[in-house]
Amino acid sequence: MKLNDHNHIYYQNGQLQMEGVAVSELAKQYGTPLYLYSSSVIADNFNAYKNAAKSIPTMVCYAIKANSNLAILQALAKLGAGFDIVSGGELQRVLQAGGDASKVVFSGVGKTADEMALALEAGVHCFNVESDAELSLLSRVASQRGDTARISLRVNPDVDPKTHPYISTGLRDNKFGITFEQAPAVYQRAAGLPGIEIVGVDCHIGSQLTELAPFNDAVDRLLELIAELKAQGISLEHIDMGGGLGINYSGSEAPPTKSSYLAALESKLANTGLSLILEPGRSIVGDAGVLVTQVQYLKPTAHKNFAIVDAAMNDNIRPALYQAEQRIVSVTETSDAPVQTWDLVGPVCESADFIGKDRPLALTAGDYLAQLDAGAYCFGMASNYNTRARAAEVLIAGDDHWLVRERETFADLIRGEHLLP
């Protein structure tokens, strides 16, 4: 069985392996639920972007909202990655992990004055400004500090990414960016503001895109805007196409390769003199991770078979929030149990608490299961709902592995809370 497009997650002698380590051994050592990440897959994915850039200077800025574990950021920084951040806390994570602030782009619709000051002090590469009001505040903050903020405007090109509505970000109904029609006037105003240096244009149309057409439409619109700005005397240094390239969650999806994506962008940007910024997140870490869970109880009924596992919607909310389907496989390839169709549900008191429905699996209580493609937007969106501790995280490299986040304790959960006197 081919589990993904890499050779680092596979079965050997009937046991699921990540790189050189048996998943079952890690589950026994660290307990479940448990997140495991392959450093080799992360490196392969990042280098695929980096090496695909042939003719245009390109900065690959990992979108750390996909997975912000410090060890993953550290590994990417060592590979030469830049970073796309959406908060001051994410900037602090980058710096703590040894990332280069001069390779950081600061996105997000709600930047505060304190976050702007923190980013200016650190010396970030660029602010992706998402509203006229934000532009005014950034000008004031930079001017008061005696700094100059390098900016691009995030322009909403009104391109349909044909993805889930919750992860569509480039339509006029979305909260992100400045409308295409308003952009020229906002650029003109920015050109006259103190503390502001215009360097680029930015867009991000959505996430989990599995075809190139929406990206092509978006860059065509941005090139129209760039030509209009140039005619008005505003020249840009870079174009930032954001992220959004999808991964093969179902096993049958065929998203564009990173090389085909870069080739399409470079053909459109040839002879423009613009450098390129990309902000991939999911397509770097998504297929590098698995969520390991253990079957607690089997509860067959006349209508539905339920397998109650110890991972819940607080560990991975994607199935409940996005109706996401991630493949779930047995950690041990063979079983004496018959294959039956199961809903894999967790212990949280919500009917939406499931990690997979209608899955054909051979199960017995105590079995370990692995939810694939769990490296992006899974742990990062985890919570402590029902006073549940967040899972441990382990990073694997060859035969080595490291605990890169400890499982939370009850003391961690109530830290900062106080009883009444």
Greater model confidence, 347 or 168 = 347
Give the annotated binding-site residues for substrate.
282, 318, 322, 350, 377
Cis preceding linkage at 319, omega within 30: no
Question: Are 334 and 395 found together in one domain?
Answer: yes
Domain end among 262, 282, 302: 282
Q: Does residue 34 register a pLDDT over 90?
A: yes
Tokens matching residue 195: 């503390």
C-alpha to C-alpha distance for 63 and 86, rounded to whole angstroms? 9
Q: Is residue 419 assigned to a domain? A: no
- H/E/C letters for each residue in 140-177? HHHHHHCCCEEEEEEEECCCCCCCCHHHECCCCCCCCC
Question: Are 250 and 320 found together in one domain?
Answer: no
Amino acid symbol at 177:
G
The string of pLDDT tens digits covering residues 155-211 is: 988 776 554 344 444 445 566 789 989 999 999 999 999 999 999 999 998 888 888
Residue tagged active-site, from 61, 126, 203, 349: 349
Q: Is residue 2 assigned to a domain? A: no
Question: Are 128 and 231 found together in one domain?
Answer: yes
Supply the CATH number for residue 405's domain. Answer: 2.40.37.10
Longest dimension (CA), the chain: 73
Domain end among 282, 317, 346: 282
Determine the pLDDT at residue 343. 97
Tell me which residue range forms the domain holding 168. 39-282
Question: Are 257 and 343 found together in one domain?
Answer: no
Question: Of 185, 190, 69, which is closest to residue 127 (Cα–Cα)?
Answer: 190
Q: Is residue 4 assigned to a domain? A: no
Lowest mean pLDDT among 24-38, 136-150, 176-190: 176-190
Which is it for strands 58-63 and 82-85: parallel, antiparallel or unpaired? parallel
Determine the pLDDT at residue 256. 92
Question: Are 190 and 321 found together in one domain?
Answer: no
Determine the pLDDT at residue 233. 96
Distances (CA, A) of 133 to 137, 140, 197: 6, 11, 16
The average confidence (pLDDT) of the chain is 94
Question: Of 104, 106, 99, which is closest to residue 127 (Cα–Cα)?
Answer: 106
Question: Are 139 and 264 found together in one domain?
Answer: yes
Give the annotated binding-site residues.
244, 279-282, 318, 322, 350, 377
Beta strand ranges found along 252-304 (DSSP E): 275-278, 289-300
Mean pLDDT value across residues 294-302: 96
Supply the CATH number for residue 130's domain. Answer: 3.20.20.10
Question: Are 312 and 194 found together in one domain?
Answer: no
Give the annotated binding-site residues for pyridoxal 5'-phosphate.
244, 279-282, 377
Question: Are 176 and 158 found together in one domain?
Answer: yes
Residue 203 designated active-site: no
Q: Does residue 57 register a pLDDT over 60?
A: yes
Determine the pLDDT at residue 174. 62
Count the domains in the chain: 2
Question: Are 174 and 308 found together in one domain?
Answer: no
Question: Are 369 and 244 found together in one domain?
Answer: no
Reduced to 3 states (helix: H, G, I; strand: E, B; else coil), residue 113 is helix
Question: Are 25 and 44 found together in one domain?
Answer: no
Greater model confidence, 87 or 216 = 87
Question: Of 83, 80, 47, 79, which is closest to residue 68 (Cα–Cα)?
Answer: 83
Q: Does residue 322 register a pLDDT over 60?
A: yes
Q: Is residue 315 assigned to a domain? A: yes
Q: Is residue 142 assigned to a domain? A: yes
Q: Is residue 3 assigned to a domain? A: no
Determine the pLDDT at residue 4. 77
Q: Is residue 390 assigned to a domain? A: yes
Lowest mean pLDDT among 159-163, 203-207, 276-280, 365-369: 159-163
C-alpha to C-alpha distance for 41 and 288, rounded to whole angstroms? 5
Question: Are 185 and 304 found together in one domain?
Answer: no
Determine the pLDDT at residue 175. 64
Domain end among 282, 305, 330: 282
Determine the pLDDT at residue 252. 80
Question: Of 164, 198, 202, 166, which is closest to residue 61 (Cα–Cα)?
Answer: 202
Q: Is residue 18 assigned to a domain? A: yes
Q: Does residue 330 register a pLDDT over 50?
A: yes
